[in-house]
Each structure stands twice: as structure tokens, then as C-alpha cells.
């Protein structure tokens, strides 16, 4: 468990490296870190320079906090994130979100790579999270377990409006303007690191999941606990496999490859959003 002083100490190290004061935070998932190259006047802070900040061990996660300007907004961008399956605790996985809150960030834009469960989704499509199902979280593996610090947020957090409606509406408008395939759907959050069995994919579909992934929901819980506005967008990197006796197998390489199509689309959506702030 961390306390507020830990978050503040990390925030003050970050603030000593840049005079910019970000109000919008971005988290870039697997293979999506290139988006940070778009920032102007950027300062790159390796995660290893920030006290207690978790470092991802996964390929495709660069491991820098980048502060700079994008479309006239000062943003802090996480180039890569730590995951529960890497062995980090829930408190460690969500530590950066708490630090972002201490930096003065009020709006969080999260991205991730996800498998398509909805059969109408194609590789390279984007899916805006309109809701999620947090299976490990419902079973007790979530970052809000344990004593609650009222200075950080409420004991019981409502989740019926986790994904900000106005941000989603604007993202959909930007996608329409640029002919980008952007679905709205339900993200099914799992711990990983294994990809799902065909029976699990059929279960996820039956339960209402449109895309499946191994991140994001814990960060969303903590961000909502901290009363931040949240938007999250999945890049569909692969079709999930829902039948046995196939020669196909999901792998991390295809996840990273699809990032090539997804990154420019995500950049367009995020820039379109930022250029319209405040939304």
C-alpha cells in the first residue's frame, strides 16, 4: 500500500523536470507508444527516474513519461504501462494514475490493445469503451480493496458513468469526420498473461463483451475514485479465436503489428479531441 506522500513525492520529481503543468493524461498501451513523438516542447522522463513508478517488462512498452504540448493542451503521456500479470500489485499498477492526479490532471485518456470478440470488428478498428466488465475485480482483485483514504476518494465508487459521455460523443464525431472505424462497446478486462481459450471467448461474447484485454480497468477504477474524467479506446489488434481445431493462435507479434494501422487512427482521434478542449 502507498500513501499520499508517496504520490506527492513522485509528482514533485516530475515537476522538477518540466515547467509545464499538464491537466490531461494519456496512457499508451502495447505498440501504441509512438503517439508520444507528436508532442511539442517535450520532456522525456524515464520511469526509472521517478520514485516507486512501476516499469513494464513487456515488449512494446517503452517506459517513459513524456510531458509536452499536443493541439495546444499540456499533456503527460505514459509510454507504456505496468500490468498485474507482470507480478505488480494492484497498488503498483495504478500508482501512476494517483501521481497524475497529484500533478493536477483532471482528464485521463487511456488506450490499449485488445482482441475483437464482437464478430463485426476488424483488425485495425478502434473501440471506444462505453462500459467494461471487470472479472478479476468482481472477484476481489482490484485496486480499491483495503483501507480507504478519504483524501483520495470515496469508499464506494459509482461505476455507471465511468466513461465520460461528452468525451465519447466528441471522439465519435472526430472519427466520423475522418472516416475512422470507431465502435462503441464493452471491454472485458482479464488478468492474462495467457490469451483466452475458445470456450472463454464464447463465454465473454455471451456475457456481453465486445473486446477483451489485460489492462485499463484497474486504472479506470482508480481514476474514477480520484474523480477524474475518463475516456478509453481499444485498438483491435487481433480477432479472437472462438473454436478449437484451428491452425490459428493469438500471439503478441500480431498485437504489435496491428499497432502500425492503429497508431495513426488513434493520433487523429486524440488530436481531434484535444483541439476541442474544454469539452
Nearer residue to ligand HPA within complex by CB, 214 or 226: 214
> What is the residue whose three cell numbers read 479506446?
233
180 near 265, Cβ under 8 Å?
yes
d(CA 113, CA 97): 19
Q: Does 255 bind ligand HPA (CB under 6 A)?
A: yes
> What is the residue whose three cell numbers read 482479464?
190
85 near 143, Cβ under 8 Å?
no
Q: How far is the CB of 228 from ligand HPA (least distance, A)?
A: 24
Q: Does 134 bind ligand HPA (CB under 6 A)?
A: no
Q: How far is the CB of 141 from ligand HPA (least distance, A)?
A: 16
Site string for ligand HPA, 231-250 (x = CB under 6 A): ------xx-x---------x
d(CA 225, CA 165): 17
Q: How far is the CB of 197 from ligand HPA (least distance, A)?
A: 11
Q: Which stretch binds ligand HPA (CB under 6 A): 34-42, 151-159, 166-174, 210-218?
A: 210-218
Nearer residue to ligand HPA within complex by CB, 96 or 115: 115
Q: Which positions are annotated as active-site residues?
A: 30, 61, 83, 85-86, 113, 214-215, 238, 252
Q: Does 209 bind ligand HPA (CB under 6 A)?
A: no
Q: Does 195 bind ligand HPA (CB under 6 A)?
A: yes
d(CA 279, CA 263): 23
d(CA 29, CA 109): 11
DSSP per-residue letters across 48-61: GGSTT-----STT-
Number of continuous H segments (helices) and E segments (strands) in the chain: 8, 9
d(CA 78, CA 48): 13
Q: Does 79 bind ligand HPA (CB under 6 A)?
A: no
Nearer residue to ligand HPA within complex by CB, 119 or 275: 119
Q: Does 113 bind ligand HPA (CB under 6 A)?
A: yes
- Between helix 95-103 and helix 4-15 the angle, nearest 10°, is 60
Q: How far is the CB of 94 from ligand HPA (least distance, A)?
A: 19
Which residues of this chain interact with ligand HPA, rule CB under 6 A? 113-115, 195-196, 212-214, 237-238, 240, 250, 255
Amino acid at each position: 500500500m502507498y500513501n499520499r506522500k508517496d504520490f506527492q513525492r513522485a509528482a514533485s520529481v516530475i515537476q522538477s523536470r518540466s515547467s509545464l503543468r499538464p491537466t490531461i493524461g494519456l496512457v499508451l498501451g502495447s505498440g501504441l507508444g509512438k503517439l508520444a513523438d507528436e508532442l511539442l516542447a517535450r520532456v522525456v522522463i524515464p520511469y526509472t527516474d521517478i520514485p516507486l513508478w512501476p516499469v513494464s517488462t513487456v515488449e512494446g512498452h517503452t517506459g517513459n513519461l513524456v510531458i509536452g504540448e499536443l493541439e495546444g493542451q499540456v499533456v503527460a503521456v505514459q509510454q507504456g504501462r505496468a500490468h498485474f500479470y507482470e507480478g505488480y500489485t494492484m497498488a503498483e499498477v495504478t500508482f501512476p494514475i494517483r501521481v497524475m492526479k497529484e500533478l493536477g490532471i483532471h482528464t485521463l485518456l487511456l488506450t490499449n490493445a485488445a482482441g475483437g470478440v464482437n464478430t463485426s470488428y476488424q483488425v485495425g478498428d478502434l473501440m471506444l469503451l462505453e462500459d467494461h466488465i471487470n472479472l478479476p475485480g468482481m472477484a476481489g482483485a482490484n485496486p480499491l480493496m483495503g483501507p480507504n483514504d478519504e483524501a483520495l476518494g470515496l469508499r464506494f465508487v459509482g461505476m455507471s458513468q465511468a466513461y465520460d459521455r461528452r468525451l465519447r460523443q466528441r471522439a465519435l464525431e472526430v472519427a466520423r469526420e475522418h472516416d475512422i472505424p470507431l465502435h462503441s462497446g464493452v471491454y472485458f478486462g482479464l488478468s492474462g498473461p495467457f490469451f483466452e481459450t475458445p470456450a472463454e471467448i464464447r463465454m465473454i461474447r455471451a456475457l456481453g463483451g465486445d473486446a477483451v484485454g489485460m489492462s485499463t480497468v484497474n486504472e479506470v477504477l482508480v481514476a474514477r475514485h480520484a474523480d477524474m474524467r475518463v475516456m478509453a479506446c481499444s485498438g483491435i489488434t487481433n480477432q479472437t479465436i472462438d473454436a478449437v481445431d484451428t491452425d490459428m493462435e493469438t500471439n503478441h507479434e500480431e498485437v504489435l503489428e496491428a499497432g502500425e494501422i492503429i497508431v495513426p487512427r488513434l493520433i487523429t482521434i486524440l488530436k481531434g479531441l484535444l483541439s476541442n478542449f474544454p469539452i
